[in-house]
């Protein structure tokens, strides 16, 4: 299998000018992910797990290191040096990101939200409509909610919508930032089923989960951050 | 890596100063902010460069006096630049510097390739003309002569921005602030420009009206795939609409990035202060 993502010696720190502080978030991170793998990152809260995902997604700009990604459109590309427009393209077409927070446009219904995500990749409205209904149904989001605003949803409903929106695009690389953190058992199983299905379809995933049991069932490799030290802890053979 | 797309608008090293300048302010270090204490020259835009790509919303934020509106005025030829270059993909294949074209050509560009919505509707509309007449004015300026066609287009546009059809012949002075902004947007869109300039369009509107104007902009942008340059001092507006954002301070672009980069990982001292002021 080809390497899809290779992070070398990544460091990220924050200079808070107004507080006169310099905060080191992570340093010397090395990760290698092959196509189709599911890789997990573990570590205490505040250890910098999310920072790594945000660096890959381009939300954080890094000081040191490289993030080599094998893009369908651009070939090998260092995400740390990609232009803004290249990052925007990749976000629309290749790299997905799910966090525990729903960050949505106000006054947009659940249906519109998912549909727009699909339409970023093409403009077949009928197909988008069909795919939208399919995934909303899969996550058992009450049909009454489809045409209402997510701000009125419960935490679990928001989260399911959030995951649905990212997964419906079947990205090449999906970054999961504790997407199951506040889900009940049934919903977690739904997420797991979808993750497994996406893996079958070839999506590579890098995820942070608090639920180690959940993660261990899916993972090919695991990385661990402890006291600021980043290490490759386990490689599971693909079962 | 080679660029994979062509910008709609390309601005290179735009400078705008008010005043002649003097030997004292040749040395930029001696300016107070962007003002020369000796000759009184204001350096409103300093070496501003950026690109706008097809279908994207580019946000420009900055405190008042940072040069945002002056920049927009320069782009729409309301102000003459001191020096700099601008290229539009839809004008001579982006090979001619717009700022060096004749005023006649600049008027053509304004009327055909760009639309602008001002913060102050008084600048963008004739308050005593009918609303549809305001739209017709721009259509006529672009060379249209067929009254029936203009009436249809005007009605269609007012409909699109949710102005009731039966009020199309009323003058904007009778309208609320939000409605006036929507008439301005309809007017700006009338010639199907590939580029729309929006200068603080929601400032001063109450929250629900602001929301309806923002929703309108978002849906128009999605429907028409138009490129938008959006100036605002409101980070909420920027977060909702802009794909990429420039931050201006004292006439310069001090930082630029994806909007989430600017909001979550601001680099410059001023940007950090701005983001941390967000409620």
The pLDDT tens digits of the residues spanning B144-202 come to: 999 999 999 999 999 988 899 999 999 999 999 889 999 999 999 999 999 999 999 88
Taking residue A27's Cβ as centre, other Cβ atoms within 10 Å add up to 17
Q: What is the pLDDT of residue A96?
A: 94
Which pair of structure tokens corresponds to residue A83? 């232009």
Q: Looking at residue A233, what is its pLDDT?
A: 77
In whole angstroms, give the CA distance from residue B111 to residue B136: 12
| Interchain CB contact of A21 with B (< 8 Å) | no
The answer to whether B76 touches B85, Cβ cutoff 8 Å, is no
| Residue B272 to residue A17, Cβ atoms within 8 A | yes
**Do the beta carbons of residue B279 and residue A80 sit within 8 Å?**
no
What gap in Å lies between CA B183 and CA B127, rounded to an integer? Answer: 11
Compute the distance between CA of residue A213 and CA of residue A211 in angstroms, rounded to an integer: 6
Angstrom distance (rounded) from CA B272 to CA B248? 13
In this complex, the residue of A61, A77, A105 whose CB is nearest that of residue B1 is: A77
Burial of B279 (0-12, 13-18, 19+ CB in 10 A): exposed
DSSP string spanning A28-58? Answer: EEEEEEETT-EEEEEE-TTSSHHHHHHHHHT
How many CB atoms are located within 10 Å of the residue A9 CB? 11
**Helices assigned H by DSSP within chain B:** 23-26, 68-75, 103-112, 121-124, 131-141, 147-160, 177-189, 207-224, 235-241, 259-264, 269-276
Q: Which positions ≥6 away from B79 have C-beta within 8 Å?
A: B16, B70, B73
For residue B1, pLDDT beyond 60: no
Give the SS3 label for residue B98: helix
Inter-chain CB proximity B261 and A59 less than 8 Å: yes
Place of tokens 């983001």: B275
Q: Are A13 and A24 in contact (CB under 8 A)?
A: yes
Residue B3 pLDDT: 65
Asked whether the beta carbons of residue B276 and residue A18 sit closer than 8 angstroms, the reply is yes
pLDDT digits (tens, 9 = 90+) for B234-249: 898 999 999 999 999 9
Q: Do A84 and B218 touch (CB under 8 A)?
A: no
Mean pLDDT, rounded, for A8-23: 93
pLDDT in tens, A19-28: 999 998 988 8
Q: Which chain B residue has its CA at the smallest distance from A81's CA? A: B1
Find the distance separating the first CA and the last CA of chain A, reported in whole Å.
16
Chain A nearest C-alpha distance from B16 (Å): 27
Across the interface, whether the CB atoms of B260 and A59 are under 8 A apart is answered yes
* pLDDT tens-place string over residues A158-193: 888 888 898 899 899 999 998 887 788 888 888 888
Q: What is the pLDDT of residue B127?
A: 95
- Of the partner residues B4, B215, B222, the one whose CB lies closest to the CB of residue A107: B215
Sheet bearing B42-52, strands edge to edge: B42-52, B9-18, B83-88
Contacts of B260 in chain A (CB under 8 A): 59
Contact of A20 with chain B, judged by CB distance below 8 Å, is answered with no
CA-based nearest residue to B113, from B50, B195, B55: B195
Q: Structure tokens of A186?
A: 């049934």
Determine the Cα–Cα distance for residues B80 and B84; give it in Å rounded to an integer: 10
* Domain range summary for chain B, segments of one domain joined by +: 1-113+226-279
Q: What percent of chain B has pLDDT over 90?
A: 77
Would you call B264 and A83 a contact, using CB atoms and an 8 Å cutoff? no
pLDDT for the residue numbered B25: 87
Q: What is the mean pLDDT of chain A?
A: 88
Q: Which residues pair with A176 in a beta bridge?
A: A98, A207
Residue (of B266, B192, B10) closest to A61 by Cα position = B266
Q: Are A2 and A16 in contact (CB under 8 A)?
A: no
Q: pLDDT tens, A185-197?
A: 888 888 888 888 8
**pLDDT tens-digit series, residues B37-53:** 999 999 999 999 999 99
Task: Using an 8 Å CB-CB cutoff, list residues of chain B that contact chain A.
Answer: 1, 3-5, 53, 56, 211, 215, 218, 222, 240, 243-244, 256-258, 260-261, 264-265, 267-269, 272-273, 276
Q: Is residue B157 classed as helix, strand or coil in its secondary structure?
A: helix
Nearest CA in chain A to B222: A116
Q: What are phi and psi of B199, to 5 degrees?
A: -105, 100
Q: Give exposure, A201-234, as e/b (b: 16+ Cβ within 10 Å).
A: eebbbbbbbeeeebbeebbbbbbbbeeeebeeee
Give yes or no for residue A238 having a pLDDT over 70. Answer: no
Sign of CA pseudo-dihedral A183, A188, A194, A198: positive
CA distance B193 to chain A (A): 22
Mean pLDDT calculated for residue range B29-36: 88
B174, B185 Cβ separation under 8 angstroms: no
Q: Which residues of A touch B215 (CB under 8 A)?
A: 107
Q: Which two tokens stand for residue A183?
A: 């889900």
Instruction: Give the span between the Cα atoms of B130 and B132, in whole angstroms.
Output: 5
pLDDT given for residue A239 in this prediction: 42
Residue A116, Ramachandran bin (φ over 0: left; ψ between -120 and 50: alpha; else beta): alpha
pLDDT in tens, B251-277: 999 999 999 999 999 999 999 999 998
Widest Cα–Cα separation across chain A = 54
Q: What's chain A's length in residues?
A: 239
pLDDT at residue B279 in the model: 67
B37 contact partners, CB below 8 Å, separation of at least 6: B30
- Mutation target to probe the A interface, by most A beta carbons within 10 A, among B1, B239, B253 is B1
Across the interface, of B5, B218, B267, the residue whose CB is closest to A85 is B5
Beta partners for residue A7, in sequence order: A31, A67
Which of A17, A74, A84 is closest, CB to CB, to B244? A84
How, if at all, do strands A229-235 and A221-226 pair? antiparallel
Which residues of B are less than 8 Å from A60 in CB distance? 261, 264-265
The answer to whether the CB atoms of A60 and B3 lie below 8 A apart is no
A31-73 pLDDT, tens digit each: 999 999 999 998 888 888 999 999 999 999 998 999 999 999 9
Helix (H) or strand (E) holding B75: helix B68-75
Is B98 in contact with B106 (CB distance < 8 Å)?
yes
A 10 A CB-CB count for B149 gives 11
Fold of B1-113+226-279: Rossmann fold (3.40.50)
Q: Tokens in use for B62?
A: 């900055």
Q: What is the pLDDT of residue B203?
A: 86
> Distance between CA atoms of B147 and B136, rounded to whole angstroms?
9
A59 interface with B at CB cutoff 8 Å: yes
Over range A116-129, report the average pLDDT.
89
What's the rounded Cα separation, in Å, for the pair A220 and A206? 10
CB A98 within 8 A of CB A163: yes
Question: What is the predicted pLDDT for the residue at A8?
Answer: 95
Minimum Cα–Cα distance from B5: chain A residue: A85
Residue pair B156/B192 in contact (Cβ under 8 Å)? The answer is no
What is the β-pairing status of strands B57-62 and B244-249?
parallel
């Amino acid at each position: 299998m080809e390497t899809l993502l290779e992070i070398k010696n990544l460091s990220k720190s924050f200079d808070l000018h107004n507080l006169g502080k310099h905060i080191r978030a992570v340093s010397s991170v090395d990760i290698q992910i092959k196509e189709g793998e599911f890789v997990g990152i573990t570590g205490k809260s505040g250890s910098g797990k999310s920072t790594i995902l945000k660096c890959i997604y381009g939300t954080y700009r890094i000081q040191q290191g490289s993030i080599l990604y094998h893009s369908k459109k651009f070939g090998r590309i260092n995400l740390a040096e990609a232009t803004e427009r290249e990052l925007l393209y990749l976000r629309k077409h290749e790299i997905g990101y799910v966090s525990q927070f729903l960050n949505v446009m106000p006054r947009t219904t659940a249906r519109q939200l998912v549909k727009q995500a699909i339409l970023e990749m093409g403009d077949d409205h009928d197909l988008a409509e069909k795919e939208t209904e399919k995934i909303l149904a899969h996550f058992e989001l009450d049909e009454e909610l489809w045409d209402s605003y997510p701000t009125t949803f419960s935490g679990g409903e928001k989260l399911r919508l959030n995951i649905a929106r990212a997964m419906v695009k079947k990205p090449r690389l999906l970054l999961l930032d504790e997407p199951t953190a506040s889900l009940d058992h049934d919903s977690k199983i739904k997420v797991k089923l979808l993750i497994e299905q996406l893996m079958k379809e070839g999506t590579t995933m890098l995820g942070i989960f608090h639920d180690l049991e959940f993660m261990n069932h899916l993972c090919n490799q695991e990385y661990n951050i402890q006291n600021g030290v980043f290490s490759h802890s386990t490689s599971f053979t693909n079962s | 890596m080679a660029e994979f797309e062509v910008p709609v608008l390309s601005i290179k090293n735009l400078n705008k100063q008010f005043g002649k300048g003097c030997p004292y302010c040749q040395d930029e270090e001696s300016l107070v902010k962007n003002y020369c204490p000796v000759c009184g020259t204001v350096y409103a835009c300093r070496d501003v460069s950026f690109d706008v790509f097809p279908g994207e919303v580019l946000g420009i934020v900055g405190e008042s006096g940072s040069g945002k509106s002056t920049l927009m005025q320069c782009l729409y030829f309301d102000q003459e630049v001191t020096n700099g270059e601008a290229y539009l993909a839809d004008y001579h294949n982006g090979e001619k510097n717009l700022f060096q074209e004749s005023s006649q050509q600049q008027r053509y560009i304004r009327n055909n390739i760009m639309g602008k919505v001002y913060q102050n509707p008084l600048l963008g509309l004739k308050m005593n003309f009918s609303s549809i007449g305001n739209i017709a004015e721009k259509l006529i300026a672009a060379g249209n002569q067929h009254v029936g066609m203009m009436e249809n287009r005007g009605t269609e546009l007012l409909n699109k921005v949710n102005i009731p059809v039966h009020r199309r012949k009323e003058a904007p002075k009778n309208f609320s602030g939000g409605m006036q902004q929507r008439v301005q947007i309809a007017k700006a869109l009338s010639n199907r420009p590939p580029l729309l300039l929006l200068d603080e369009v929601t400032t001063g509107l109450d929250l629900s009206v602001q929301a309806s104007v923002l929703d309108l902009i978002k849906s128009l942008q999605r429907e028409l795939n138009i490129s938008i340059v959006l100036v605002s001092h409101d980070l909420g507006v920027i977060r909702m609409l802009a794909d990429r954002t420039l931050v201006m301070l004292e006439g310069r672009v001090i930082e630029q990035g994806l909007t989430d980069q600017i909001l979550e990982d601001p680099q410059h001292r001023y940007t950090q202060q701005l983001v941390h002021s967000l409620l």
